[in-house]
């Protein structure tokens, strides 16, 4: 069969590079490391105020940076890594046709012709060295990555504090953080300490210098991961690169490439060389491809080779299902939905077929030895996560979680960074138990959860069934939320689904930050609400997570430009608008040089008389905008 | 200006009447009242099992019932009401041109020509009588409405229990009900008692006999309200009727008609005569129209006349902003978003202009006298609800809530039913306080909340920002959730938005039922998850809240019919599917006449050998469905 179509490389034309509306990129330099430039998105409001927000979109939204996807984006970390003096370039592993799903080299080379421009010579730790951020942190070293993150997490608090200036309000809205330690100002040293103690992870493979450093930990902003990847049935390299860029545009803090099928090695090269965010993978998927989908044919050697292959390409974190132990498999037999994790089921099948312990578990220290040479982080997979609410928090799930906790300590012994994956499908009342047990069993290693979905009855809306659970578990302490798209359970997400899933998860993560009481988080809400109250429609759109949709929705009923400054919207129409009325009440009080409270308390009859004389009907001079009642 | 366009009556052609896929209507008769017929939707699965679900769609989805919207749907409660012998027909109020927004009768009659076929002679309580369900309940009378509700709430538990039969699972998933009293089997007597004690409300105006009885209370299933209504800028009568039918199709338990502008009286006639669910309104909106939008011109007499007008038409519950007291208004002056409730701002403006106490408060007992003659329930409005997270749970909001609690007791003194409206915008960590205070201050009268929205930063996605809060507060004890559509803050929802909002809120309400541990609630999840696990795609679609979207999403990548029985989906593709694998593991164990656990524990090497011999690769014979890798 022809596979050339699949191998079509990405074209620059398909990338969306326009900055978001009213936005421009700004960079803040470091103090310890003056060479670092931390990107933020500055939104300019119609009243000339500027609101800066966290920006995951990398160089794509900076019109001053030229990008050619066939060359890759700038390698901003290249010098930082080299300057540490502990890595060396080496002759990497030779690509095997099987890496891309081909039987022979000619077949592969024909297929990926024109798509191989992004291969790089790999680097790894010099003998005897360990190049993980955890290792540096434990040595007391504040890396450029750490300072970058400190600046990035603070999101210019000098500017956000402007909105959070009412002591009564701040006291009333004080968050419930469930033991998280949320600093008023994140320092590079705090980042170091959190990494050193395993409570936070900086996914940062030395072979992925294009990545802008970010941190995953419950004492930082809640992050969101987006999964992309072709399945055997669909899509091309170009589409996957575009999806990755698209995902970062809408807020993906990390992206997992879950591609299966042909050309996955080359697709991964293209994604990594163009990715401004850490990239995660599930190496067992590719290993299984190499043995033609026959789970029992998997071996440690094949898996190990795949780890090295992907580590050399620059993958920042690996999902490893090392907690699926032979003795746990039977615990799933009575479940409503058995094992639903792909990796989990592959390993379960392997264990049963060989009647042996999971080789990912028995070779766990061998894996650590590889990962620390590249600084690939573990994402310990929950292969036994529940696939229905009926299976939530059962023996299989909890047993595996305990094992992941044991493995965490082994990884930490090697200074390898660890995050822990979590469910799945969990009804609301059982979500907190997941978080509490994870913190206890896994020694506060960051939790990285899929959803959880709080009901099974809404296929087509599982971004929402899971967004509910995600917001809650984010509040309770999950450090990163793996998004779910509307296509979950039904098909592969397209571009629109990726965006819908991301916005849902960004709002869930933000709701979690607010509930935790993350300093500065609420400032964007307050800025947007002020704009809403003052009928600054443009600002309301532009401060939102999806300015395009907000504007389009508004324009469906009131398309004319004059409506953008109108003191009403189509919901109530011009005849009465509550926002307008309450603003009049306040304005009136101001005009008298009195607070509204004074006006009432002093019982000034003449005040109400003046108000009457001014005319207390609601402003209706809007005939140029819309026709309305007589 | 021409207004005839707005007055266009509804046509039967625009109504969606097809039953949902694989569904038919069944009816269950009463025992105390054999004449009652409680509708349910029976979904027939491909394995011939039948799952019955709660059905709000009324006669529209029963092909055996002929419907002509110009005549209205069958008045199922007509005899029940007449048989109580406590109502009488009377010469109702004469329609005033102002009711429909016209200056003179000729103008109105021209405009609504052809749209007046649904006027009815009103009935009300005979002198000295009180016709509320609360009054009957306190007399110890189990009305047909109450028995109807008991059967309806149980949702054929004999059938749902089939899915909930594993003791370990049921013990593990036991809900957290926060003090709710959830019975295994709802009895008519329990319904009576809950109503008698004010913990539940049956909105059932004697002039709305078309309505199928339903109950709002935290010891019952969580309900969802959908708002419809033209604003001054858009839509016609026909569209509003269609939107109401559409809303009940997708699960609206009640519908609020928030129309403003012209022809609202006639629009209301059309909606009520065709509505199988209770209809709520905010009478102050129409009263304000009658005084040309000049808030200070509102009077008790005009408001009183509007209440009677709408009570005679059959409105089942009125939002009344009687808790917006003069002394609370100044408490909103320092808010980020002031007063955002339309009704609240109208009353605030009136109070300030006149420097007098809110006439809804001072005339509260007069209102009770009217409502008890028709059995209109109070929905005590939260006119001072927060419009931004910054304003959540502030002094204004909480003060008003206390007042609503005082008013509740006054209403109860008159045997008038009461629900309490709640916020608004509230961050997650402050939601429970809302519920706790509402229960305390309002003596367990049912809570009816809008959202709450958990962040302000996602205009265009506020069905989701609020769906998160709605699921949580529903779990904590809210009895009915007022939906929010994606257009919230931006425009008037269209048909698609209404559906999106409803499905979001139905899944939130269901997630709440599960978390509360509502008996039987999880059975639909289990039925769907079983179907998912067994690759019964059709059943998975049909058991979902939106079968059409689920099917459409699936078909985007795998449109052929053969894919509907395929043992994989486009997410993983045919080469490995976790569901398939774990089912194989289970099947294999079964085939050996052993549990999988035995197979492992007995350490049978030959077992794994047999498994190998059978071939442990994943089933891939799918070439007729999709082309895949070599």
Q: What HEC string does B237-280 produce?
A: HHHHHHHHHHHHHCCCCEEEECCCCCCHHHHHHHHHHCCCCCEE
CB pair distance less than 8 Å for A468 and B465: no
pLDDT value for A591: 53
Confidence bin at B592 (pLDDT 50/70/90) = very low
Q: Which residues of B touch A533 (CB under 8 A)?
A: 336-338, 387-388
Q: What is the pTM of this model?
A: 0.93
Of A482, A102, A99, A104, nearest in space to A313 by CA? A99
- In angstroms, how far is the first alpha carbon of chain B from the final one? 69
Contact state of A511 with B337 under an 8 Å Cβ cutoff: no
Residue of A nearest to B581 (CA): A345
Choose, out of A355, A546, A582, the residue to mutate when testing the contact with B (most B CBs < 10 Å).
Answer: A582
The helix/strand/coil state of A267 is helix
Rg from Cα positions in chain A: 26
Residues B412-449: tens digit of each pLDDT: 999 999 999 999 999 999 999 999 999 999 999 999 99
**DSSP state, A144?**
H
A102 CB neighbours in chain B (<8 A) are 630
Q: Which residue of B has its CA nearest to A294?
A: B617
Binding-site annotation, residues of B? 227, 256, 285, 321, 341-343, 382-385, 421, 425, 448, 489, 569, 572, 577
pLDDT number for residue A629:
29
Which CATH class name applies to B23-516?
alpha beta
For residue B96, the model assigns a pLDDT of 93
Asked whether the predicted pLDDT for residue B371 surpasses 90, the reply is yes
Q: Which residues of B touch A604 (CB under 8 A)?
A: 355
Cβ <8 Å between A529 and B330:
no
Comparing CA positions, the residue from A485, A495, A509 lying closest to residue A224 is A509
Reading the block at residue A464, the tokens are 């929402």
- Closest Cβ opposite residue A464 in set B390, B464, B601: B464
Domain residue ranges of chain A, discontinuous segments joined by +: 23-516
The single-letter DSSP state of residue B365 is H
| A54 among annotated binding-site residues | no
Report pLDDT digits (tens) over A400-441. Answer: 999 999 999 999 999 999 999 999 999 999 999 999 999 999
- Residues in chain A with CB shorter than 8 Å from the CB of B52 are none
- The stretch B182-195 carries a mean pLDDT of 97
- Indicate the SS3 state at residue A43: strand
CA B226 – CA A314 distance, rounded (Å): 50
Give the pLDDT confidence score for residue A562 in this predicted structure. Answer: 65
Residue in B333, B556, B608 closest to A353 by CB? B608
What average pLDDT does the structure give for chain A?
Answer: 89
Phi, psi angle pair for A414, to nearest 5°: -95, 10
* Cα A550 from Cα A539, distance rounded (Å): 11
Start-end of H helices in A77-203: 78-83, 105-111, 133-138, 144-154, 157-160, 167-172, 188-196
> What is the C-alpha separation between B326 and B356, in angstroms, rounded?
7
Report the residue of A576, A592, A630 to disrupt the B interface, i.e. the one with the largest count of B CBs within 10 Å: A576
Q: How high is the pLDDT of residue B1?
A: 33
Residue from B200, B207, B164, B209 nearest B184 by CA: B164
* Chain A partners within 8 Å of B430 (Cβ): 173
In whole angstroms, give the CA distance from residue A27 to residue A253.
Answer: 18
**How does pLDDT run across B500-553, given as a tens digit for each residue?**
999 999 999 999 999 999 999 999 999 999 999 998 999 999 999 999 999 999
Name the more confident of B4 and B54.
B54
pLDDT of residue B583: 65
Which of B288, B293, B628 faces A233 most closely, judged by CB atoms?
B628
The SS3 of residue B13 is helix
Residue in A233, A430, A629 closest to B261 by CB: A629
Q: ∠ CA(A263), CA(A269), CA(A273), 5° rounding?
A: 150
CA-to-CA distance for A122 and A308, rounded, in angstroms?
Answer: 10
Contacts of B628 (CB under 8 A, 6+ apart): A232, A233, A261, B573, B574, B575, B622
Chain B residue with Cα closest to A586? B333
Within 8 A of B358 by CB-CB distance, chain A residues are: none
CB B456 within 8 A of CB A525: yes
Q: What's the pLDDT band for A624 if we cut at 50, 70, 90?
A: very low
- Average pLDDT of the residues in B98-104: 91
Partners of A582 on chain B (C-beta within 8 Å) are 332, 337-340, 345, 348
> What are the phi and psi torsion angles at A450 (to 5°)?
-95, 110
d(CA B265, nearest CA chain A) in Å: 15
Q: How far is CA A419 from CA A21, A319, A510, in A?
A: 35, 9, 21
Nearest to B578 by CA among A285, A380, A397, A378: A285
Yes or no, beta carbons of A630 and B388 under 8 Å apart? no
Higher pLDDT, B608 or A105: A105
- Residues B298-305 have a mean pLDDT of 98
Q: How far is CA A397 from CA A157, A332, A384, in A?
A: 40, 9, 5
Average pLDDT of the segment spanning B182-193 = 97
In the predicted structure, residue A230 carries a pLDDT above the cut 80: no
Give yes or no for residue B108 having a pLDDT over 70.
Answer: yes
Residue B462's pLDDT band (cuts 50, 70, 90): very high
Distance to chain B for A355, nearest Cα, Å: 6
Q: Over range B152-170, report the average pLDDT.
A: 89
Q: Give the tens place of pLDDT for each residue, A90-130.
A: 999 999 999 998 989 998 888 787 777 888 999 999 999 99
Contact call for B295 and A617, based on CB within 8 A = yes
In this prediction, residues B289-317 reach a mean pLDDT of 96
- What are the chain A neighbours of B603 within 8 Å (beta carbons)? 355
Amino acid B311: pLDDT: 98
Instruction: Determine what percent of chain A is predicted with pLDDT higher than 70.
Output: 86
- What pLDDT is attached to residue B243? 92
Cβ–Cβ gap B525/A389 under 8 Å: yes
Q: Residue A167: CB partners within 8 Å, gap ≥ 6?
A: none
Q: Which of helix, strand or coil describes residue A30? A: coil
Rg (CA), chain B: 26
Q: What is the ipTM of this complex?
A: 0.93
Would you call A554 and B491 a contact, using CB atoms and an 8 Å cutoff? yes
Question: Which of helix, strand or coil describes residue B57?
Answer: coil
pLDDT score of A616: 43
Q: Answer yes or no: do A428 and B511 touch at CB < 8 A.
A: yes
How confident is the model over B62-98, as pLDDT tens digits?
999 999 998 999 999 999 999 999 999 999 999 999 9
Whether residue A454 contacts residue B515, with contact meaning beta carbons closer than 8 Å, is answered with: yes
Question: What does the alpha-carbon distance between residue A347 and residue A396 come to, in Å, rounded to a whole number?
Answer: 14
What pLDDT does A610 receive? Answer: 46
Task: Pick the range with the lowest mean pLDDT from A554-563, B98-107, B133-142.
Answer: A554-563
Nearest CA in chain B to A623: B233
- pLDDT computed for residue B629 by the predictor: 29
In DSSP terms, which residues pair with A593 in a beta bridge? none
> Per-residue pLDDT tens for A112-122?
877 778 889 99
- Per residue in B23-70, pLDDT (tens digit) is 999 999 999 999 999 999 999 999 999 999 999 999 999 999 999 998
A541 pLDDT above the threshold of 60? yes
Shortest CA gap B412–chain A (Å): 30
Distance from C-alpha of A77 to C-alpha of A206, rounded to nearest angstrom? 8
Would you place residue A595 in the very low, low, confident or very high pLDDT band (cuts 50, 70, 90)? Answer: low
Closest approach of A234 to chain B, Cα-based (Å): 8
Judge residue B402's burial from the number of C-beta atoms within 10 Å of its C-beta, 0-12 exposed, 13-18 middle, 19 or more buried. Answer: middle
Instruction: Please spell the DSSP secondary structure of B415-482, one letter per residue.
Output: T--EEEEE-SB--GGGHHHHHHHHHHHTTTPPEEEE--BS-SS-TT-HHHHHHHHHHHHHHHT-SEEE
* The predicted structure's pLDDT at residue B204: 98
Q: Chain B residues with CB inside 8 Å of A292's CB?
A: 617
Considering only CA atoms, which of B154, B531, B449, B488 is closest in space to residue A532?
Answer: B488
| Residue A582 confidence (pLDDT) | 65
What's the pLDDT band for A619 if we cut at 50, 70, 90? very low
Specify whether the CB–CB gap between A185 and A154 falls below 8 A: yes
What pLDDT is stored for residue A563 in this prediction?
Answer: 67
Of residues A46 and B259, the one with the higher pLDDT is: A46
CB B268 within 8 A of CB B281: yes
A336-381 confidence digits (pLDDT tens): 999 999 999 999 999 999 999 999 999 999 999 999 999 999 999 9
Do residues B550 and A459 make contact, with C-beta atoms less than 8 angstroms apart? yes
Across the interface, whether the CB atoms of B514 and A260 are under 8 A apart is answered: no
Rounded to a whole number of angstroms, the distance from the CA of A4 to the nearest CA of chain B is: 12
Beta bridge partners of A88: A124
- Pick out the residues of the known binding site of B for Zn(2+): 425, 489
pLDDT in tens, B222-243: 999 999 986 544 457 778 889 9
Mutate to test the interface with A, among B458, B499, B590, B596 (most CBs of A within 10 A): B458
Mutating which of B228, B398, B429 best tests the A interface, going by the most A Cβ atoms within 10 A? B429
Q: What pLDDT sits at residue B114?
A: 73
pLDDT surpasses 60 at B475? yes
* A283 contacts: CB under 8 Å, gap ≥ 6: A303, A306, A307, A310, A318, A319, A320
Cβ contact A524–B457 (<8 Å): yes
Q: How far is CA A623 from CA A574, A620, A626, A628, B111, in A?
A: 10, 8, 6, 8, 22
Report the mean per-residue pLDDT for chain B: 89
């Amino acid at each position: 069969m022809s596979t050339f179509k699949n191998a079509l490389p990405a074209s620059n034309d398909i990338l969306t590079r326009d900055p978001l509306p009213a936005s421009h990129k700004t960079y803040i330099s470091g103090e310890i490391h003056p060479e670092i430039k931390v990107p933020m998105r500055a939104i300019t409001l119609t009243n000339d105020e500027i609101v800066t927000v966290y920006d995951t979109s990398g160089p794509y939204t900076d019109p001053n940076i030229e990008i050619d996807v066939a060359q890759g984006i700038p390698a901003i970390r290249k010098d930082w890594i080299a300057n540490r003096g502990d890595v060396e370039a080496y002759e990497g592993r030779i690509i095997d046709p099987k890496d891309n799903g081909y039987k022979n080299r000619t077949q592969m080379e024909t297929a990926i012709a024109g798509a191989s421009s992004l291969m790089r010579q790999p680097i790894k730790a010099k003998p005897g060295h360990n190049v993980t951020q955890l290792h540096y942190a434990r040595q007391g070293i504040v890396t450029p990555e750490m300072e970058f993150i400190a600046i990035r997490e603070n999101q210019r608090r000098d500017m956000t504090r402007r909105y959070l200036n009412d002591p009564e309000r701040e006291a009333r809205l004080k968050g419930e953080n469930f033991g998280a330690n949320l600093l008023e100002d994140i320092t590079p040293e705090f980042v170091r300490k959190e990494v050193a103690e395993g409570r936070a992870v900086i996914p940062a493979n030395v072979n992925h210098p294009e990545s802008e450093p970010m941190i995953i930990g419950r004492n930082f902003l809640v992050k969101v991961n987006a999964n992309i990847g072709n399945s055997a049935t669909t899509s091309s390299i170009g589409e996957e690169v575009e999806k990755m860029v698209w995902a970062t545009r809408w807020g993906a803090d990390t992206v997992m490439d879950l591609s299966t099928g042909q050309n996955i090695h080359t697709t991964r090269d293209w994604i990594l060389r163009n990715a401004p965010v850490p990239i995660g993978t599930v190496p067992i998927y590719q290993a299984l491809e190499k043995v033609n989908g026959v789970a029992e044919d998997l071996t440690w050697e094949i898996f190990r080779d795949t780890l090295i292959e992907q580590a050399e390409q620059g993958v920042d974190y690996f999902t490893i299902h090392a907690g699926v132990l032979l003795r746990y498999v039977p615990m799933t037999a009575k479940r409503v939905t058995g094992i639903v994790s792909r990796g989990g089921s592959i390993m379960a099948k392997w264990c049963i077929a060989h009647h042996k312990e999971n080789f990912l578990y028995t070779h766990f220290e061998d894996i650590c030895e590889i990962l620390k040479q590249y600084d690939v982080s573990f994402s310990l997979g929950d292969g036994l996560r529940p696939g229905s609410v009926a299976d939530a928090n059962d023996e299989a799930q909890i047993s595996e979680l305990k094992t992941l906790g044991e493995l965490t300590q082994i990884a930490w012994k090697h200074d390898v960074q660890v995050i822990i994956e979590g469910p799945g499908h969990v009804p609301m009342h059982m979500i907190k138990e997941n978080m509490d047990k994870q913190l206890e069993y896994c020694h506060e290693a960051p939790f990285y959860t899929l959803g959880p979905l709080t009901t099974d009855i809404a296929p087509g809306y599982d971004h929402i069934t899971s967004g509910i659970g995600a917001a809650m578990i984010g509040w309770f302490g999950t450090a990163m939320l793996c998004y779910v798209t509307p296509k979950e359970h039904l098909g592969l997400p397209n571009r629109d689904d990726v965006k819908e899933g991301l916005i849902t998860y960004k709002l869930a993560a933000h709701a979690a930050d607010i509930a935790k009481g993350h300093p500065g988080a609420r400032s964007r809400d307050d800025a947007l609400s002020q704009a809403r109250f003052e009928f600054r429609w443009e600002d309301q759109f532009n401060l939102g997570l999806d300015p395009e949709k907000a504007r389009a929705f508004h324009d469906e009923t009131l398309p004319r430009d004059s409506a953008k400054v109108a003191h009403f919207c189509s919901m109530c129409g011009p005849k009465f608008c509550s926002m307008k009325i309450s603003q009049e009440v306040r304005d009136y009080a101001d005009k008298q040089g009195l607070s509204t409270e004074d006006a009432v308390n002093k019982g000034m009859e003449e005040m109400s008389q003046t108000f009457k004389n001014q005319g207390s009907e609601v402003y209706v001079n809007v005939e140029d905008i819309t026709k309305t009642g007589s």
